[in-house]
Structure 1
Amino acid sequence: MNVIITGLGLIQNAEINIDKKFTVFTGKNNTGKSYLNYLLYGLYRIDEDKLARQLHSLITNEIKVETNDKERIIKLSIDIYGFILANLERIVDLYASLLLENISNLFATNKLKPGIKLIVTEEDKKLFLKLKGNFNYIDEDFDGLSGYSLKDGILIYKTTTNKNEDWEKDFIEEHRKTMKPKIVSEILRYLKNIFTFPNDHPANSNVFFLSRKICDQPVL
């Protein structure tokens, strides 16, 4: 993924590719390395709860409903993998907007108003394509007639129905709501493999400040 930055203190224009495991900045003093250092640190400190809340709004109309009167089954499903693939750039834009919201905290000032754009690269897409089959589980009971299942990125909830229209309507409405947190949780599991949230790699925040302490100037 590429991070495009404009108007960040001493940095007028910069583009950073963060597909690699390490990002190294070198140069003379007072050239803006610290700005880039803190910005990348902020990228790994995105508020996951805020991102989850914004994802909720994106999935409102993505849950499909199917009924099988013969087998008395009602099924709600969403292709999480397909949803992310179709909305990857929108999700990345959400990520960038949350980073901008946190700029004043990162730099302890309200004076910086940079432009930040995250660009999805072909490497990101290739990585994502490899994730399709990674998250599979079946959590069903009642002889397989009720419960959740996730296979190849498709999350399904199904249960038996009593063919009562009012009951079905209430059931669908209720489970659209209850499925959302589970859907968002699965989306975040995919995204963690691309963006890397801090909870999974707590050392991310330490490497920046350790480098400052050792070298007296940021080098990572």
Structure 2
Amino acid sequence: MTNQYELFLALQNPGQATLDFLLEMAAGKYGNESIERGTRFDYPDELFLTLSPEARESLPARYDAVNDERQKALLAGILLAGADHAIVLKLAQDKTGRRVIGQSGWNTRSKILNFHQPTGSGSSSYSLIPRDLSELRKGLYGLTRSSDPETAKFAADYLVQIDAERDEEGGTDAGPRHPDISSGRPWPVVNEVGNAGLPDASPTSA
């Protein structure tokens, strides 16, 4: 059987590996070494780009179906690479999803807040174009009232983080300051459930 080191080498080209195979690796079928140790930090981003539209559409259902924590973490990372606001809200309601969001790097966080527009043909440089964050902010604001205290706290902290980064980048004109005026609740109310800090990225956080 191919040894684990050779399997890790195969992962350097995401297009050569199937999603099922990667999930088996994540679950330890071919060894106990963590899949993260054999791949680059941006591997979920690369993998997302190589997946077919059908495979991308299957990701949320796959995420819901698996019970293995390692498989869920891999799928959450791939899902998050798509920077879809509805997916971010979905992950925010799950323990593994919250951990993966908290551990995400600058590039992933930036894509959630901005479109990365290339500055020229063949150029690796890009301009940051602010995205419409209204539905994401509204969704997070709604989650601050979640019956799950861990979800509520994460949503509050993440909402504060998003607003802080948006303000730092000069995006204060991207919409109303209140995430959901129709709720009739004051803003901010995050002090009720959060501490206005970054979501905890530690593996033990919920």
Q: In which range does the TM-score fall when normalised by the shorter chain?
A: under 0.3
TM-score using structure 1 length? 0.21
**Would you tell me which structure has more strand in proportion to its own residues?**
1
Larger RCO: 1 or 2 (CA < 8 Å, sep 6+): 1
Q: Bigger radius of gyration, 1 or 2?
A: 1
TM-score using structure 2 length? 0.22
